[in-house]
Amino acid sequence: EVQLVESGGVVVQPGGSLRLSCAASGFNFDDSDMHWVRQAPGKGLEWVSLINWDGESTYYADSVKGRFTISRDNGKNSLYLQMNSLRGDDTALYYCAKDGPGAFGLDSWGQGTLVTVSS
Amino acid sequence: QSALTQPASVSGSPGQSITISCTGTSSDIGGYNYVSWYQQHPGKAPKLMIYDVSHRPSGVSNRFSGSKSANTASLTISGLQAEDEADYYCSSYRSSNTYVFGPGTKVTVL
């Protein structure tokens, strides 16, 4: 069974930094592209970032480019999101998601970890 | 503000069919066959319902189907059931390996 478990979400002050983690199991992690998607309270989904299977290619939404860094450790079956210069509009539930069948479809999601940016 | 447009809400009676539209541009939906749809119940993680415009993942009911015409993708739910009441999001590949979600559509079963 595929499992994705996010952690690291806390309350952080504006301008602060945070690293989210996602522990993966139940599938060949090192064969899978991985995404971060976030959801502000009461709002819709927002794609944040993508990393390819070997970590050589990374992509970001304009809203986080230059502030967030996605990375992975295939030896530890783990995905990360380093978040710097946090702002109030970064407050959201952050999901990690596995790229699944076909060219585009996120077929497995974690339960999310909540990041709150507030003074 | 999302680059994709969805109706805020769609409703139907049990057994009926409903269709949710998702309109983008030639830079996303119109340019690629990389549209996916997600169902999200309150307090739960999203669930993939359709990928690559019209493909259903294993385990998803065949009451769900997807299509695309020009810059608009559509999700049709046939034989509407109470358990289908949820939020539905479309998503599309854009250029430069980025992706975009629609704002979501709340489906109500009357």
pLDDT tens-place string over residues B72-97:
999 999 999 999 999 999 999 998 88
User: Which residues of chain A lie closer than 8 angstroms to B87, CB-CB?
Assistant: 44
Residue with tokens 């769609």: B10
Mean pLDDT, residues A28-33: 96
Residue B2 has a pLDDT of: 63
Kindly tell me if the per-residue pLDDT of A61 is higher than 60: yes
Nearest to A101 by CA among B8, B68, B54: B54
Count CB pairs under 8 A between chains A and B. Answer: 81
Q: Do B52 and A102 touch (CB under 8 A)?
A: yes
Please spell the DSSP secondary structure of chain B, one letter per residue: --SSB--SEEEE-TT--EEEEEE--TTTGGG-S-EEEEEE-TTS--EEEEBTTTBPPTTS-TTEEEEEETTEEEEEE-S--GGG-EEEEEEEE-STT-EEE---EEEEE-
B64 touches A: beta carbon within 8 Å: no
Helix (H, G, I), strand (E, B) or coil at A90: helix
Q: Do A95 and B47 touch (CB under 8 A)?
A: no
Which of A104, A110, A112 minimises the CB distance to B36?
A104
Q: How far is CA A28 from CA A25, A53, A117, in A?
A: 8, 10, 34
Q: What span, in angstroms and rounded, lies between the C-alpha atoms of A56 and A78?
A: 15
Percent of chain A exceeding pLDDT 90 equals 96
Nearest to A82 by CA among A14, A10, A17, A16: A17
Residue of A nearest to B53 (CA): A104
Kindly tell me if the per-residue pLDDT of A102 is higher than 90: no
Kindly tell me if the per-residue pLDDT of B11 is higher than 60: yes
Q: What is the tens place of the pLDDT at every residue in B28-61?
A: 999 999 999 999 999 999 999 999 999 999 999 9
pLDDT range class, residue A101, cuts 50, 70, 90: confident
Residue B1 has a pLDDT of: 53
